Every structure is written in C-alpha cells, then in structure tokens.
Amino acid sequence: MSIRKAGKRTRPEPGLRVKKPINHKNTSGEKRSLLKKAGIFRELKDEELDIIAEYSEFRSFADDEVIFKSGTNGDMLYLIKRGMVRILAPHDGEMHDIAQFIEGELFGELDLFEEAPRSVDAVAETPTELLCFPRQGLKFEELLPRHPRIFAEILKILLGQIAVRIREANKLVSEKVPWIEDLRKQLFFDKLTGLYNKAFLEEDFKLQLAKTTACAVLAIKPDNFKTVNDESGHDAGDKTLRLLADMLKDYLDASGTGVRFRGDEYIAVFPECKAEGAHKHAQALLEKVKAIDMSSMVKQ
C-alpha cells in the first residue's frame, strides 16, 4: 500500500451498481495464484486456497467507479488483480485521498473480520479487476462454521500483521522525529521564501486559531509585481518575493506568523490581536513595503 498526501476530492457519485462476475474459464488456478500474493492467505495450503477461491469471484470496475462507500456493510474483502484503487476518507464535509492500493494488494479485510461498517470510500482509479471474497450471494458468517480452522488461521495471520504494523509505527515515531519534522516543513513551508504556505493556513492554522480569543489576519499584495517579472525577468521576480518575505519575517519576529498565500500574496497573522492593533500593524507594514529598495531589481 502506498500512502498519498491528503488532497481534497469531490465525493464520487457514480451509481453503485452490482457488478456481474467475470466469466473466466479455468479461473481456480488463477485465483489461487492471486491469493498467494496476499499476506493473510500466504500460509494456507493449496487445497485451502482452493476453498477460498471457490467462494470468491472476479469483478471489474470502470475508471472512477465506486467499489464501496463509507457507511455500507463491510461484508467483503478485495484483492487487486489489475488496476489501482484509491481510498477516500471524510474530513470537514469533504472527501480526501488517504491511500492507494495497486496490483497484488488487499483491502477491506479489517472491516470484514470486524463485521464493521466501512469508514472510507473505495474508488477504481483506473479500469480495475478485483478478486472479491466472499462472492455475491454468500455471507462471511455463514462460511465460518463450515471451515473454522482455515478462518482461524487467516485471523491469526491478520492479527500478527496488525501487531507488526503497530510496532513499526511506534518505532518510526520514536526514532524518526527529525524526519517527521522535515516532512512537516515540506508540507507547510514555502521553499522560495521560507514562510509558511497556503496548506498551513488551511490545515494547521485552524487548530491554532481555536486556542486564541482574538486574532488579526492581514493580507499583503504589492502593486505592479507583474511588471517586475515582465520587464526584469523571473529571477528578479523571485528576488522581490524574497525581499518581501524577509521584511515580513523581520517585522513579525515572535509576535505573529508570516504566510506566502500564493504568488505575490502574503498573509500576516497576529494572535490575540484586536481591531485597533490590527490597524496599527497594517499601517506599519505599509510603510515597510514602501521602504523596500527595488533598485537592484530594475534593468537599466
């Protein structure tokens, strides 16, 4: 499984159609080979894999077609024969990408064994073919008493995998704190100016805002920036952006937070600052911008 940077997605709305099983000849061996790729089935004998294969079926999904939606019953697990599947989770009323599964990977198994409703959406990112267990018309709880030893073995392997993942996650957090901080900088800092970026303002800043009783947010956008780019080149434009950022950093010091919102637009955030203080900061910043020496940016 590969983890993606979270990005806002529109909740998929294609009809959740019941997929007809694909009519393959001699699919038993094909299913068995595919099942062996999944960790939770890897320790099973061929005859046991054949039993799982018997209760499984292939289904195909078109590009951007919903496989399942959050809130639906977790009554099936999926093994990807071909294609890719993205997983989306709800946050603040929007759906966001949180993971991607590729050929040979398994998903949906925890919901099946927990008999829990889905907490995420799964959508085919490309034309995708899945091996689905159990097949349509069968219920997992009806299969358990038929083959208790097989499913006990699968559950034991699954629990072992979960324990390993937890240990690895704990180790990563304890040993890779500098790496996590570096990742945070990549997510929330603008490389050109060293200021916070738009992602910080939209995500992390919300948490900080909840802790304040008052807050002032000032927008700063210089006039005629496009002229600098057009007449003096993009290098001069980048230098100008850095000059503005340096001015903002010097002014804010520890009293506020500077953000490069987009392009030549900047934001200055002053926690615990009311209207009168915001007006004073605005006047002071205006004078600071006027005082920036642009002579080195202009072509003679």
Please calculate the CA angle 212-218-222 and round it to the nearest 5 degrees. Answer: 160
Share of the chain above pLDDT 90, in %: 33
The confidence band for 80, taking pLDDT boundaries of 50, 70 and 90, is: very high
In a domain, 180, yes or no: no
The confidence band for 205, taking pLDDT boundaries of 50, 70 and 90, is: confident
> 141, 175, 209 — which closes off a domain?
175
User: Are 55 and 198 in the same domain?
Assistant: no
CA distance 298 to 38: 62
The pLDDT of residue 62: 95
Q: How far lies 21's CA from each of 137, 141, 270, 276, in Å?
A: 11, 21, 59, 68
Q: Domain count for the chain, please give it.
A: 2
The pLDDT of residue 297: 66
Domain CATH for 221 = 3.30.70.270
User: Are 46 and 151 in the same domain?
Assistant: yes
Residue 1 predicted with pLDDT over 60: no
Instruction: Average the pLDDT over 40-44 and give the result.
Output: 83
User: Are 135 and 261 in the same domain?
Assistant: no
Instruction: Give 159-189 pLDDT, tens digit per residue.
Output: 887 777 777 667 766 655 666 667 776 788 8
User: In this predicted model, which residue has the larger pLDDT, 243 or 206?
Assistant: 243
Assign residue 214 a region (left: φ > 0; alpha: ψ between -120 and 50; beta: otherwise). beta
CA 127 to chain centre: 21
* DSSP structure class, residue 254: T
Residue 97 predicted with pLDDT over 60: yes
The tokens describing 206, both together, are: 């919300």
Instruction: Give 14-28 pLDDT, tens digit per residue.
Output: 444 444 444 444 577
User: Are 163 and 238 in the same domain?
Assistant: no
pTM, 2 dp: 0.49
Q: At what angle do helices 234-252 and 275-290 cross, to 10 degrees?
A: 140
Q: Where are the beta strands (DSSP E) in the chain?
A: 2-3, 8-9, 57-61, 66-68, 77-82, 85-91, 94-101, 106-107, 121-124, 128-133, 215-220, 257-262, 265-271
CA atoms within 13 A on the CB side of 260: 22
User: Are 202 and 135 in the same domain?
Assistant: no
Contact between 203 and 270 (Cβ < 8 Å): no
Q: Label the pairing between strands 257-262 and 106-107.
A: unpaired
In a domain, 181, yes or no: no
The confidence band for 248, taking pLDDT boundaries of 50, 70 and 90, is: very high
User: Are 145 and 270 in the same domain?
Assistant: no
> Strand, helix or coil at 211?
coil
Least Cα distance to 51 among 35, 62, 71 occurs for 35
The confidence band for 94, taking pLDDT boundaries of 50, 70 and 90, is: confident
CA 123 to chain centre: 14
User: Residue 283 belongs to what domain range?
Assistant: 188-297
Side chain identity, residue 91: H
The pLDDT of residue 173: 62
> 153, 175, 197 — which closes off a domain?
175
Instruction: Average the pLDDT over 243-260 and give the result.
Output: 90
The sheet with strand 77-82 has its strands ordered as: 57-61, 128-133, 77-82, 106-107
Domain CATH for 7 = 2.60.120.10
